[in-house]
């Protein structure tokens, strides 16, 4: 089943008499169990898409479904956990009270809330600050308590808008680990981010949005290939390489050597090496940074 389906979404805003086409026929499909990263330049339409899925705003045209249910209906949100880009809480509440409130609003009983809160506060490293009013929390601490509140009811789909933007490097590692754990237990995760290494590290699929349309979708195997400029062929060094690439060979160990070849020459080089009975030990993609790919896409 699809966890998220957006078909041909259009959304226009009007601002000071000007029309802004935020979404322009967006299609987005996320399979159950996926960890989907939503990547796009500033103003591409990521937050608008998320707001439509959460029914904070309505699309002008198109259909949006969550687990097959129209996202305009309240029922569609029963299985969702949501963390907005800038979570806002009543600032006199403590971290623990925020979790209690979130748990109650999902119909969890007090015993379970207490148990879950204790676990989550520990996990997001807020145990010591749990009885402090959140107005005294830093941006990263707000993000952490917001994250805990978003998952207290064990949602089947977790939607996060720029979840790691206010976090320090250790906080990002913690979030990524928690996202991975949740995903391994079956939670579908959909998050937007600007931080490319974070997306690259953990996502099973990446959707790149530009000018309100899906520009490209890359799954993890494609991602490897798509961003690969060259390959490193490692072979047992027993013969003499064909003349055209023998100068590029580098000794790796006593027995092994390697040669780097561009993507376009890979097939040719491999067939020549096979012809000459080379023992090929490994072929490693030499990845081009996703950052470069993103810049390339943004500039097109």
Ligand X SMILES: Nc1ncnc2c1ncn2[C@@H]1O[C@H](COP(=O)(O)OP(=O)(O)OP(=O)(O)O)[C@@H](O)[C@H]1O
Q: How far apart are CA 52 and CA 56, in angstroms?
A: 6
Q: How far is the CB of 161 from ligand X (least distance, A)?
A: 7
C-beta closer to ligand X: residue 215 or 245: 215
Kindly state whether residue 116 participates in binding ligand X, applying the rule CB under 6 A.
no
x-marked contacts with ligand X along 6-45 as a string, rule CB under 6 A: -------x-x----x-x-----------------x-xxxx
CB neighbours of residue 196 within 10 Å: 18
Interface residue with ligand X among 3, 36, 48, 102 (CB under 6 A) is 48
Answer positive or negative: Cα dihedral of 177, 183, 186, 187.
positive
Supply the minimum distance, in Å, between the C-beta of residue 22 and ligand X: 3
Q: Residue 107 burial (CB < 10 Å; 0-12/13-18/19+)? A: exposed
Instruction: Supply the minimum distance, in Å, between the C-beta of residue 18 and ligand X.
Output: 9
**Residue 194: CB minimum distance to ligand X, A:** 6
Q: Which is nearer to ligand X, 15 or 111 (CB)?
A: 15
Three-class secondary structure of residue 296 per DSSP: helix
Nearer to ligand X, 198 or 237 (CB): 198
Instruction: Output the smallest distance, CB 127 to ligand X, in A.
Output: 32
Query: Per DSSP, what are the bridge partners of residue 258?
Result: 234, 250
| Binding residue for ligand X, selected from 26, 30, 39, 46, defined by CB under 6 A | 46
Torsion sign across C-alpha atoms 123, 129, 130, 134:
negative
114 vs 298, beta carbon nearer ligand X: 298
How far is residue 246's CA from residue 265's CA, in Å, rounded to a whole number? Answer: 14
Angle, helices 110-123/95-105, rounded to nearest 10 degrees? 130
Give residues in contact with ligand X (CB under 6 A): 13, 15, 20, 22, 40, 42-48
């Amino acid at each position: 089943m699809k966890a998220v389906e957006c078909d041909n979404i259009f959304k226009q805003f009007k601002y000071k008499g000007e029309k802004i086409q935020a979404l322009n026929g967006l299609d987005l499909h996320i399979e159950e169990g996926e960890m989907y990263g939503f990547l796009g330049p500033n103003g591409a339409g990521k937050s608008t898409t998320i707001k439509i899925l959460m029914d904070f705003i309505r699309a002008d045209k198109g259909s949006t479904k969550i687990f097959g249910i129209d996202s305009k209906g309240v029922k569609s949100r029963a299985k969702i956990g949501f963390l907005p880009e800038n979570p806002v809480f009543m600032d006199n509440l403590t971290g623990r009270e925020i979790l209690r409130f979130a748990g109650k609003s999902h119909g969890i009983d007090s015993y379970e809330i207490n148990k879950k809160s204790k676990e989550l506060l520990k996990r997001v490293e807020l145990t010591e600050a749990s009885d402090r009013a959140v107005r005294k929390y830093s941006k990263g601490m707000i993000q952490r308590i917001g994250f805990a509140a978003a998952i207290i009811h064990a949602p089947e789909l977790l939607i996060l808008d720029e979840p790691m933007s206010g976090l320090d490097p250790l906080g990002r590692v913690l979030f990524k680990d928690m996202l991975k754990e949740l995903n391994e237990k079956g939670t579908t995760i959909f998050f937007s981010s600007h931080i490319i290494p974070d997306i690259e590290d953990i996502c099973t699929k990446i959707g790149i949005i530009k000018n309100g349309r899906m520009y490209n979708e890359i799954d993890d195997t494609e991602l490897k290939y798509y961003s690969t400029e060259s390959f490193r062929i490692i072979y047992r060094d027993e013969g003499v390489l064909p003349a055209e690439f023998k100068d590029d060979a580098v000794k790796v160990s006593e027995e092994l050597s390697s040669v780097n070849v561009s993507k376009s020459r890979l097939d040719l080089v491999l067939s020549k090496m096979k012809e000459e009975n080379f023992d090929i030990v490994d072929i490693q993609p030499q990845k081009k940074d996703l950052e470069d790919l993103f810049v390339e896409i943004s500039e097109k």
